[in-house]
Structure 1
Amino acid sequence: MSNVASGRSLADWELAPAVDYIERVQRSDGLIPWYPDGPADPWDHVESAMGLSVADRHEAARRAYRWIADAQHEDGSLWATYGETDGDDGAHAGDEPRKETHRSAYVAVGVWHHYLCTGDRAFLETLWPTVRDALEFACAQQAATGEIYWTVGADGEVYEDALVAGCASIYKSLACGAAIAAELGHTDARERWLAARADLGAAIRERPDRFDRTWESKSRYAMDWFYPVLCGVLGGEPARQRLEAGMDRYLEEGLGCRCVADEPWVTVAESCELVVSLAAVGEAERAREIYEWLFQWTDDEGVFWTGYQFEDEEFWPGERPTWTGGAAVLAADALSGLSGAADLFTDPLPERE
């Protein structure tokens, strides 16, 4: 295991305000919008719920996962986004209704994470059909060359192109789904998802031509740089080399990680994910140093802003996303061993067993 505990607690990291904010923004039906009365998306919803699990806000986390089970379509998908509402009534798909594979599949990571935090087997069994159907939806969009297509339109048409970061996220989702299947004795599903994961990993590592074929390359985004490490597609020396190769391009000393290489903007969530990626390759000291920079980007209550525009010297955009707080809690967990899920990203499962 590459996690190196520092002996610090959630309180020591001063993360209670971030967790309180997530729980305060969560709606009564369980959905966690980006900010009060704002939009939501399933991936960031799960990221926020994971923060709740680490902080022992288990009932709030369970409500978040029940929301996914209730909202899931018959084909296992979710809408990519859910529009702004005035309350719990009237939640609707965003302005461009589509079903993104990585956003639908990420529930598997959240459910396994919550189980590692709680040992709640009844929860795992209850959410199994949701996880199963979500991963089957994603696998149904896998190309013969291994990549998993980005999205399915509201009309059922598949958009036959793939995202590096999105596919890396699905790679992690398949690993967690396989772990859930093993725990519950669903051997066929486990073997099917491990095979799909192996093909997907090979595509990410060896077939760059299969990504960003119909749109401008996303390689300027930091997520494309570190997500293959964060999600376990790369490990060991190749992972360390990949991170080292991008440091000059993405990391702003004393500030954090740029969201986009050519924009003067560091973001807390991407910085936290870089922290976890560094911890995964054994660079815990460097990871902790970067993490400690990020607490300058909080408001007076201790809630994280999205990020900081360092040319204009202002917080931008002027929002405090719930998922940013979730990412901060997960980074603290990876560094300090706060929960039973602390090694989820720093000790990835093998591709085949």
Structure 2
Amino acid sequence: MGSLPELPGVLSAAQVGATGAAIAAMQERSGALPWFPGGKTDPWDHVESAMALSVTGFDEQARAAYRWSARTQRPDGSWPIEFRGGTVVDPNIDSNFCAYLAVGVWHHYRTSGDLDFLAEMWPTVRAAIDLVCRFQRDDGAFRWAADATSLAMFDEALLTGNASILHSLDCAGRIAETMDDADSAERWASAQARLARAFASAFADVDGAPAGVVPGVFVAPSSHSMDWYYPVLGGAVRDERAHALIDRRWDEFVVAGKGIHCIDHRPWVTGAETSELALALESIGRVDEAVALIDDIGHLRDPDGSYWTGLVYADGKRWPVEKSCWTSAAVVLAADAISRASAGNGIFRDVRAAAEPVAAR
């Protein structure tokens, strides 16, 4: 790996390394990366935490995490939504949760250069993405979940989940190309292009900038900040439209000196969402704002290098009272993207365009 990420005056390389060590310390013997020791493990946040291990030089632990994913994958290519201590708590299927392994595996390859490990994980990624593609609707959007017993799918397409799936399809396609599987690469590129066109049709334009989400494709944006910035983070909205989209709700979510709201109307800032917004900003060149956001959540940093999940700033209390693995991971990934330290630093920035630009309306 290259040098550790560093944000001068905000985070030193040693501090980022300590955050990686804090994540590694939470890993279970099985390789699972739970939310916190004794907490639940879900397939998406597990992968995000593994990505931070790759960035901070914990390659052995990262490989153990991905091998846990390979061992726990079901024959249909899916994972249960939630494990706890190795036991399945929620057996149902979330399409975005299943897709995200492709992002992590491609990121680990970019960071480590380990082609043998990429080949080892390839059957797991291929099965997962083929399963996820079964969730795609005729309009290109992806259904969000399915019942594990009946396999009946819930038809709603969620904005954040679909933006993340678009990113996953791009990474999966890159893996397929590297593995010389032209058929998979072509099928997944087609699925990504159809999803990108669904995003293109969902965002209304006013003078070239998205005014909001047109009803009929995705579930209307919720009060959660993820529905605001994720279309940018996942690569579904870029260029001047991305700037307009971010600017439109900036004052609703960003609290100067504290971070960003998880939910627009609550006095609660969270480290993971703040870091993901920083990643989205970095991907469109707004680096100074990204750095400022990571600086703002310094109050969530624990002396051991881990990060508390959030703060209710109205009363100064941390909530929930937990130092979450994935919050620490999001900080590491944001620092890496901004500093361009690891070879995987462009994992969010470099999502390939998959559809024609949105036409002006």
TM-score normalised by L of structure 2? 0.90
Q: Which residue of 1 aligns with 2:232?
A: 229
Structure 2: distance between partners of 1:131 and 1:196: 16
| Matched-pair contact (CA < 8 Å) for 1:43–1:107 | yes
Structure 2 residue matching 1:232: 3-state secondary structure: coil
Query: In 1, Cα distance between the equivalents of 2:221 and 2:78?
Result: 24
Gaps of 5+ in 2: 203-214, 357-361
Tell whether the 8 Å contact from 1:10 to 1:338 is kept in structure 2 after alignment: no
| Cα displacement (A) at 1:210 | 2.2
Match of 1:15, SS state, is helix
Correspondence 1:132-281 to 2 at 5 A: 132-155=126-149, 156-207=151-202, 208-212=215-219, 217-281=220-284
Letter in 2 for 1:22: I
The whole-number CA distance in structure 1 between the counterparts of 2:131 and 2:253 is 34
- Partner Cα separation in structure 1 for residue 138 and residue 112 of structure 2: 38
Deviation at 1:35, TM superposition (A): 0.6
SS across alignment from 2:88: coil
Q: Return the offset for 1:12.
A: 3.1
Residue aligning to 2:207: none
* Residue 299 of structure 1: aligned partner: 302
Paired-residue identity, %: 38
Could you say which residue in structure 2 is the equivalent of 1:28? 29
Alpha-carbon displacement from aligned partner over 1:29-56 (angstroms, at most 9, x marks no partner): 1111111111110000000000000011
From 94, 118, 121, the equivalent of 2:115 is: 121
What is the aligned residue count? 338
* 1:7 to 1:255, Cα distance in 2 relative to 1, 3 A: closer
After superposition, the Cα gap between the structure-2 partners of 1:6 and 1:347, relative to the gap in structure 1 and judged at 3 Å, is: farther
Letter of the structure 1 residue corresponding to residue 88 of structure 2: A
Partners of 1:235 and 1:318 lie apart in 2 by: 36
CA apart distance, 1:198 = 1.1
Cα distance in 1 between the residues matched to 2:295 and 2:98: 32
Query: Residues of 1 paired with 2:309 and 2:6: CA distance?
Result: 26
Match of 2:209 in 1: none
The CA RMSD over aligned residues, in Å, is 1.7
5+ residue gaps, structure 1, are 86-90
1:46-71 CA distances to partner (integer Å, 9 max, x unpaired)?
Answer: 00000000011101000000000000
Q: Indicate the residue corresponding to 1:67 in structure 2.
A: 68
Deviation at 1:350, TM superposition (A): 2.3
User: What is the match of residue 88 of structure 1?
Assistant: none
CA distance in 2 between counterparts of 1:81 and 1:102 reads 13
Deviations 1:276-320 (A, max 9, x none): 111111110111111111111122323200011111211111011
